[in-house]
Structure 1
Amino acid sequence: MLAGDHAPFFPVPKAEKGSGTSLASRPTLTVDLSAVGANTRHLSRITQGEVMAVVKADAFGHGAAQVARTALAHGATRLGVTSLAEALALRAERVYAPVLSWLNPVDADWARAVRVGVELAVPSLEHLAAIATLAPGATVHLHLDCGMARDGAEPALWPALCAAARRAEQLGLVRVAGLMGHLSCADVPGDASSTIGRATFDWGVRVARDAGLDPAHRHLAATAATLNDPLSHHTTVRVGAGLFGIDPSGAGRMRPTLTLTAPLIGLRRVGAGTAVGYGQTWTAPTTTQLGLIGVGYADGLPRSASNRAQVLVRGVRRPLVGKISMDMAVIDLGEEGARMGDVVTVFGPGAAGEPTVAEWASWAGTIEHEIMTGLGPRLARARSGGRS
């Protein structure tokens, strides 16, 4: 008799009727583009200038091209990224809005960037010389360090950079379209460093104008300053985190954009004293049911949130117990239990009681930005509520 003539040795469980789930479902990250649109509209309303939507790091893991189109449809007029590779990827997706790239080595492929209309940040004399030589006609934004001691020209070198940029502009080698800076503590309203940073940028604008430059775009404020500090807005604001519901002001004015779900793929009942996971860092205090989801730190769940994080199962928050592993995490389901294939909400907007990305960041001792950008490629991606 053929093996296929036999019934399975173990019965195959079925999804609960009406649950909309199955054992074939995968861990899925859903991006709510309608929330991206709403956040863009809000940010556009609170500034008099243009909104540059920052879609670096694949739009914080949300999908750069999709987020770019959504933001542009809801009030953004320009785009920002770090590397040329990110800018070129947008062009490959037929996103043709103005895009600025601001973090590149001196030997970047400047000519290719200019051929597809990418604007370039200039943080040093070396960058300016390379762009003027290899990509004549480039549109540039001079970048001033306003107190972070990382990217941007040091204030002591700024007058020389402005003078050199003006000479290059007169020769037709570049067009200086913008000046840019960044504030270090804009998430703290009234912080003294913001006052100093604003003053440094204002000085930088005066120096540029004294050198004969007349840039149309002046941008200092990122999301936190856009929300907290109207004095920093100038002609343009750069918003990245705010597009995705991150509100450094803590006012709760932004809509969360991500939901991560995963099916239960394992269940077991254990007795009191049963230890769970690497290092046996959690032990069941009583008889309970444990559930397994196939999501771990390789997918972006921070291991540092072990034994602190919670998830939502059947409308009730349940703790993750034991160390979060590379590929899986264990849930203490308690006495009420659950069924194989039940969908677990790892995080979401919070409207149904599920944890949010902000809570996960708190449990891990980090920021929402790191959680979002760390979500791995094994997660299936889905989008809802907007342009794709």
Structure 2
Amino acid sequence: MNETAALPTAPLRARAEIDLAALRANVRALRAHAPGAALMAVVKSDAYGHGAARCARAAVAAGATWLGTATPEEALVLRAPGAGLPADVRIMCWLWTPGGPWREAIEADLDVSVGAMWALREVTRAARSAGRPARVQLKADTGLGRGGCQPGGDWAELVGEALRAEAEGLIRITGLWSHFACADEPGHPSIAAQLARFWEMTAYAEERGVRPEVRHIANSPATLTVPDSHFDLVRTGIALYGISPSPELGSPADFGLRPVMTLSASLALVKRVPGGHGVSYGHHYVTPGETTLGLVPLGYADGVPRHASSAGPVLVEGKWRTVAGRVAMDQFVVDLGGDEPEPGAQAVLFGPGDRGEPTAEDWAQAAGTIAYEIVTRIGTRVPRVYVNEGEDG
């Protein structure tokens, strides 16, 4: 993880400012959307590029009672004493491969996902070795077609074997869960179909004696727009960081959310060039006339998408500029149209948007991707600078 608690004495080449007050407010807004359910703050992939430990602490302070990660390694870092999280916060991880650190997860009191018989066999062996039961959540594939157990005979076998392991004291079945495929597409027929299948699969397990602490299927878009999916727990990922899961669903402001990350850099160079001057690799941009160019010291090694070449928006001294030509590994150029800001002037790639700057969604549109990818890909060369760490008054 790449966390910078305070500004160093030297000016920063670039920075990703993380507004923890915005994150706490987003947690409260999401809890209001699902008042009858507990909230899991998903902090996988270093909290979508925002910094897992800091964001986890802020989310818990605002009322999240669960944390979610993809890999067990991510979860184990959060359970370590240095993460500064309360011992009673539940942490779940779900992306396992054979031979994973099952025993370490059991000893760290993590909730682990099991969606196949091989995983149940491995976790029960680890529980015998650890001398304590594993906290296991059974995952149902209700239609996404990724992880999880298929309905019918496969689910019946998994539930039956899990109940036998629970009777032996090897596991505790703490949850039943699944994941939507198209909750970010309003009205998609798969949403109702998956919800019905989840009801069927959880009912089957409960009729045979499973008594889960939580049942959950709602991700960020379902939390915001499918109240019937809230069950006992909602898993909020991208919405936690103030980004709408889909522009079709609404803007962040429509849901009472505020983007948490602002990415900016200091101009490294400003120079005047004549018309007809090629810019960056391949000369895909040629100046239409005499102008000024600004050099922004961020590139695809920092997570700026190369697909946004000649398209990505940047705010410089109150004006939107566009990437001129190719995004390179460490830098790109903007055409300043004759303006001459001083070297060191701030170039804002994206932020909340309420000060005139582009947003992560604007960059997603420019790169032909989704805003999730824009924030998650910001690399470790860019320091995270945390603001508003204190509790809200």
Place the TM-score, normalised by the shorter chain, in its bin: over 0.9
Contact kept? 1:189, 1:229, Cα under 8 Å? no
Aligned to 1:130: 122
Contact kept? 1:187, 1:225, Cα under 8 Å? yes
- Given the alignment of the two structures, is residue 289 of structure 1 paired with residue 281 of structure 2, yes or no? no
Inter-CA distance 131–289: structure 2 relative to 1 (3 Å threshold) = same
From 105, 110, 113, the counterpart of 2:102? 110
> Can you list the C-alpha shifts for 1:77-121, whole angstroms capped at 9, x where unaligned?
111111110011101224231101111113112111111111111
- Given the alignment of the two structures, is residue 163 of structure 1 paired with residue 160 of structure 2, yes or no? yes
Contact kept? 1:131, 1:138, Cα under 8 Å? yes
Contact kept? 2:315, 2:348, Cα under 8 Å? yes
Aligned to 1:365: 368
Aligned AA (1:267): V
| In 1, Cα distance between equivalents of 2:10 and 2:291 | 23
> Can you list the C-alpha shifts for 1:325-357, whole angstroms capped at 9, x where unaligned?
000010101122211111111111111111111
Q: CA deviation at 1:130?
A: 1.0
Alignment TM-score, normalising by the size of structure 1:
0.92
Aligned to 1:250: 250
Q: Give the secondary structure class of the aligned counterpart of 1:155.
A: coil
Q: Give the secondary structure class of the aligned counterpart of 1:145.
A: coil
Greater Rg by CA: 1
1:313-352 matches, within 5 Å, as 313-352=316-355
Deviates more, 1:246-255 or 1:172-181: 246-255
> Can you list the C-alpha shifts for 1:213-239, whole angstroms capped at 9, x where unaligned?
111200000001000100111110000
| In 2, Cα distance between equivalents of 1:219 and 1:58 | 23
Q: Give the secondary structure class of the aligned counterpart of 1:135.
A: helix
Aligned to 2:47: 59
Aligned to 2:17: 30
Question: What is the count of residue pairs matched by the alignment?
Answer: 368
| In 2, Cα distance between equivalents of 1:285 and 1:251 | 36
| In 2, Cα distance between equivalents of 1:265 and 1:206 | 61
> Can you list the C-alpha shifts for 1:3-40, whole angstroms capped at 9, x where unaligned?
xxxxxxxxxxxxxxxxx9x9943211111111110110
Contact kept? 1:221, 1:233, Cα under 8 Å? yes
Aligned AA (2:48): F
In structure 2, the gaps of 5 or more residues are 1-6
Q: CA RMSD in A?
A: 1.5
Q: Give the secondary structure class of the aligned counterpart of 1:321.
A: coil
| In 2, Cα distance between equivalents of 1:52 and 1:348 | 24
In structure 1, the gaps of 5 or more residues are 1-19
Q: CA deviation at 1:243?
A: 0.6
Aligned AA (2:111): E
Q: CA deviation at 1:373?
A: 1.2
Q: CA deviation at 1:198?
A: 0.2
Contact kept? 1:23, 1:340, Cα under 8 Å? no
Alignment TM-score, normalising by the size of structure 2:
0.91
Aligned to 2:382: 379
1:184-263 matches, within 5 Å, as 184-248=181-245, 249-252=249-252, 253=255, 254-263=257-266
> Can you list the C-alpha shifts for 1:238-266, whole angstroms capped at 9, x where unaligned?
00111111212224322101111111111
Contact kept? 2:71, 2:93, Cα under 8 Å? yes
Aligned to 1:80: 68
Q: Give the secondary structure class of the aligned counterpart of 1:334.
A: coil
Q: Percent identity?
A: 40
| In 2, Cα distance between equivalents of 1:25 and 1:195 | 49
Q: Give the secondary structure class of the aligned counterpart of 1:279.
A: helix
